Structure 1
Amino acid sequence: MNLMKKRWILLIVACTINLCAGSIYAWSVFAPPLAERLSLLTGEALTAGSLAAAFSLANAVGPIPMILGGAVNDRFGPRWVIASGGLLIGLGFFLAATAETTLSLILGYGIGFGLGLGLVYGSTINTTLKFFPDHRGLAGGLTTALYGLSSVILPPVALALISAEGIQYALIMLGTVFTVMIVSGGLFMQKCPDGFEAKFRSSTAAPVRPAREELNWRGMLRARRFPPMVLLLLCGAIPGMMIISHCWSAARELAGLDAAAASVAVSILALANVFGRILAGAASDRFGRLPSLMGALVLTLLGCTLLSAADGIAALWFWSGILLVGIAFGAFMGIYPGFTAEEFGAKSNSVNYGIMFCGFSIAGFVGPVAMNFLLETGFSYQEICLMASSLSLAGLFCGWIFSKSLPHKE
């Protein structure tokens, strides 16, 4: 089959794989029954919070296999990288289902699933980016969006399985299905041929933004524009992580919502995040990566400001605020894979983006920790949202610094 046609099939397969890999978002559904099971086995009074380290560990180890697997992906292609990741994800599910101690659960799920997730997520995104030099934003947006869509689709499915057959059955069944889908999808994927972008550019009228430079990870780290790129990412991601991590509680406090309505707010924020990845990714193909990211920062600034002004009476401001924050955070997730490839080249982007993705991991740690610290210090949600909005101003400054650090004008 002609690669120009097959690349769209590869994109669909990559999106399906990421939908399965995004099953990490079902952890909040798995944790309570797992804690109940382990409490019976160990005699300890465990809660979902007692097992939170498993989720944190799975996210924390992700960048390591992204970088190491990325080197294999760039050289040999995605098939065995994704297939190996699928097996590790399945192993993580199995170890969680059969764990008899808290430590074995945390290590088994956290390390097994986390290593598999890093291999799969990094490889699917960077492989599709190489096949879509004309639509890097759209390809990055779609592949990251389907990963995020798991937070909406999978929890109710997992909850239904647990209610019907129990936690062990649910974990083993889901783990088996996801392993088969990821492994088979990975074996279908293929490496983008060397020189594909150059041939694509010469044989089609589609607009292609050539990479500014082809740099490996060492060259990327030495580039003057790398530090402001990372700072720009952090300023865009940390406010989103702050709101996402406390959306349910903030909805109760800021808008006076009851528990059910607050849960709806969490779902709306998740959907806004998903659609933000697709819409902003596509917009960045048309208007450019940096202008689109600067626009996302403006949305974050406006969204956090609206949240800071929300109260039980002005609930509309709360709903508008979480929509804007969700869309803006999704924009950073969707644009940055293509942004990295455009700045430092597609050839080594699996490794380069793995390093850049560490910024999202840092934001995932700093955002919730900062929110908890500020709440414990005595600040209100309104005051904290206003503080978060100031990061957007810092991000706009970082974007300006980045534009001044470019080796040549576009």
Structure 2
Amino acid sequence: MDLKTKRWLILIASVVINLCIGSGYAWSVFAKPVIAALGCTAAAAALAFTISNGVGPITMITGGRIQDKVGPKWVIFFGAFMFGGGVLLAGFSTSVSWLYMSYGVIMGLGMGIIYSCTVANTVKFFPDKRGLVAGIATAGYGCGSIIVPPLANSMIASMGILNTFKTLGIAYIIIIAVFSFFIQTAPANYKPEGWNPPAPTATSTVSGVDKNWNQMLSDPMFYVLFLMLTAGAFSGLMIISQASPIIQEVTKVTPAAAAVGVSLLAMANTFGRIFWGAVSDRIGRYPALIVMYIIAGAATLSLSSIGSFGTFIAAIMFVGFCFGGTMGIFPALTADMFGPKNNGVNYGIMFCGFALAGYLGPILAASIKASNGNYTMAFMIAASMSIIGVVLTLIVQNKNKKDRAARSLEAKA
């Protein structure tokens, strides 16, 4: 089988692996049972989700460097025991501190090391379809929160929250370890037969220059993109982390009905990664991001005045749809801006913007609910973050146009 065909099998394996680690997005289904089992507050329970997202970039960065030396297959294999083991150990929780260490730290580190390999390595195989394939690869990550919520809700009802963690943890170890052997290292500067990279245009995001992490951090545009990622992930992570409690609180439905809402949110998140990734390949990353920020901001703001279940779910699905698009676009955008060669490490550093949103969003929602008795102010703050995202994107887009124009004049001279 030639590599141009085999790369699609590698993509499928990456999607299955990401489906497992993406189950971390199903945290909102576990939140209330964990609160009941450990006797903690909602904010204390939410910290487990925040920690898992916060520590992920640590191993995304180190995992990116290690995979360059030993290949992604063995890094993912090792990560299977970290991620699945963390979930398994969460099943032995008797205190929130144990939950933080198992579900938060160990699972989060495993999530980061696996994600850095599946996404960065797969994107290298598809220089001709970066946006689409980054969207598909990360869609597996979002898909985990489609399948897991109803399954976990049923498991929790029959065997309790702790046994559910144990069962899921063992399943994750087996699935990720097996599919890791289908992963292959992308050749340096791989280019599929018959494809030639298009020439840069005035609105192109492709710099054509490979930068290492030191060079990337010395580029002011890195920090603007970092904040753009934080702004794009903020509302999505705030709602995803608290989706089940928020749906139950605002629309007054049962946990089972809320679990359906969580799955619908996850479907929107997953589809958004593929849809916006493909769209960004056609219209450009920045125009796609601007549209997403506007839709997400409007949908988040509307949540403060909606009470019916159907309308509320539709609104949070729009938020998830655009959040997924942001997460699908940014691996490709990072490779466009700083080159694909070091994208494993570079995107790991860029992903710290996601971790920042993963800390601020969930904690903000839980804290505002505790102090105000509702989520209205949290929704308004999240909507304002989308406005910031639009402004920052316009700044980067304008600078890129000026840089292209200046290089064009130099070439003519």
Fold shared, TM-score > 0.5 on shorter chain: yes
Give every structure 1 segment of 4 or more consecutive aligned residues whose post-TM-superposition deviation is greater than 6 Å: 31-37
Give the Å deviation of 1:53: 4.2
CA distance in structure 2 between the aligned counterparts of 1:77 and 1:187, rounded to whole angstroms: 11
CA deviation digits over 1:40-82, x for unaligned, max 9? Answer: xxxxx56787655444332221110100111112343201110
Distance in 2, matches of 1:395 and 1:35, equals 34
Structure 2 CA distance for partners of 1:104 and 1:378, relative to 1, 3 Å: closer
- Kindly provide the amino acid, as one letter, of the partner of residue 210 in structure 2: E
Give the secondary-structure state (helix, strand or coil) at the position aligned to 2:185: coil
Alignment of 1:84-103 (within 5 A): 84-99=78-93, 102-103=96-97
Alpha-carbon shift at residue 194 of structure 1 (Å): 1.2
Cα displacement (A) at 1:175: 2.4
Distance 1:53 1:368, change over 3 A: closer
SS at match of 1:73: helix
Aligned residue number for residue 114 of structure 2: 120
Q: Which residue of 2 aligns with 1:408?
A: 403
Does residue 226 in structure 1 map to residue 240 in structure 2? no
How far apart are the structure 2 equivalents of 1:390 and 1:52? 23
Amino acid at match of 1:273: N
User: In the alignment, what sits opposite 2:234?
Assistant: 238
Q: 1:94 to 1:308 in 2, by over 3 A?
A: closer
Stretches of structure 2 that go unaligned for 5 or more consecutive residues are: 201-205, 406-413
Quick one: which amino acid aligns to residue 203 of structure 1?
A: G
Does the aligned pair in 1 maintain the 2:46–2:366 contact within 8 Å? Answer: no
Partner of 1:349: 343
8 Å Cα contact 2:43-2:367 kept in structure 1: no
Relative distance call for 1:53 and 1:308 in structure 2 (3 A) is: closer
The separation in 1 between residues aligned to 2:380 and 2:19, in whole angstroms, is: 34
The aligned residue for residue 17 of structure 1 is 17
Q: What is the Cα deviation at residue 163 of structure 1? A: 4.8
What secondary structure does 2:174 align onto?
A: helix
Contact 2:91 2:165 in 1 (8 A): yes
Mapped to 2, the partners of 1:78 and 1:297 lie a distance apart of: 33
Matches within 5 A, 1:8-407: 8-28=8-28, 52-99=46-93, 102-164=96-158, 170-197=164-191, 200=192, 203-204=194-195, 211-248=207-244, 250-251=246-247, 256-259=251-254, 261-311=257-307, 318-375=312-369, 378=372, 381-382=375-376, 384-406=378-400
Name the SS of the counterpart of 1:213 in structure 2. coil
CA contact (8 A) 1:228 1:402 kept: yes
User: For 1:92-145, what per-residue CA distance to the aligned partner results, in whole angstroms no more than 9, with x for missing partners?
Assistant: 233233456554443234332122111111110011100011111111111211
TM-score scaled to structure 1, two decimals?
Answer: 0.85
CA–CA distance in structure 2, aligned partners of residues 138 and 303 of structure 1: 25
Matching residue of 1:42: none
Shift of 1:182: 1.1
Q: Using CA pairs below 8 Å that are at least 6 residues apart, which structure has the higher relative contact order?
A: 2
Q: Give secondary structure in 2 for the equivalent of 1:127.
A: helix
Q: In terms of mean alpha carbon deviation, does 133-142 or 343-352 score higher?
A: 133-142
Q: Percent identity?
A: 40
The aligned amino acid for 2:90 is A
Check the 8 A contact 1:213/1:345 in 2, yes or no.
yes
Partner-residue secondary structure (3-state), 2:220: coil
Give the deviation of 1:340 after TM superposition.
0.4
Q: Distance in 1 between matches of 2:369 and 2:164?
A: 36
Give the Cα–Cα distance (whole angstroms) in 1 for the partners of residues 145 and 134 of structure 2. 18
Alignment deviations for residues 165-208 of structure 1 (CA, whole Å, 9 cap, x no partner)? 565654444323321221222232111111213xx3x7326868
Q: SS state of the match for residue 61, structure 1?
A: helix
SS of corresponding position for 1:398: helix
**C-alpha separation between the residues in 2 aligned to 1:120 and 1:377?**
37
Q: Using a 3 Å threshold, how does the CA distance of structure 1 residues 383 and 180 change in structure 2: closer, same or farther?
A: closer
Q: Aligned equivalents of 2:161 and 2:373: distance in 1?
A: 39
Supply the distance in 2 between the matched residues of 1:172 and 1:340 (Cα, whole angstroms): 36
Output the CA distance in 1 between the equivalents of 2:41 and 2:70. Answer: 44
After TM superposition, the structure 1 stretch with the greater mean CA deviation from structure 2, 398-407 or 376-385, is 376-385
Work out whether residues 237 and 357 of structure 2, in 8 Å CA contact, stay in contact via their aligned partners in 1.
yes
1:243-288, CA deviations, whole angstroms, 9 ceiling, x for partnerless residues? 334444554666x453365544333222211111111111111111
Q: Is the 8 A contact 1:224 1:405 kept in 2?
A: no
Find the aligned partners of 1:373 and 1:29 in 2 and give their Cα distance. Answer: 19
What SS class does the counterpart of residue 188 from structure 2 fall into? Answer: coil
Which position in structure 2 is the counterpart of 1:2? 2
More moved, 361-370 vs 171-180: 171-180
RMSD after superposition: 3.1
Gaps of 5+ in 1: 40-44
Q: Distance in 1 between matches of 2:313 and 2:164?
A: 34
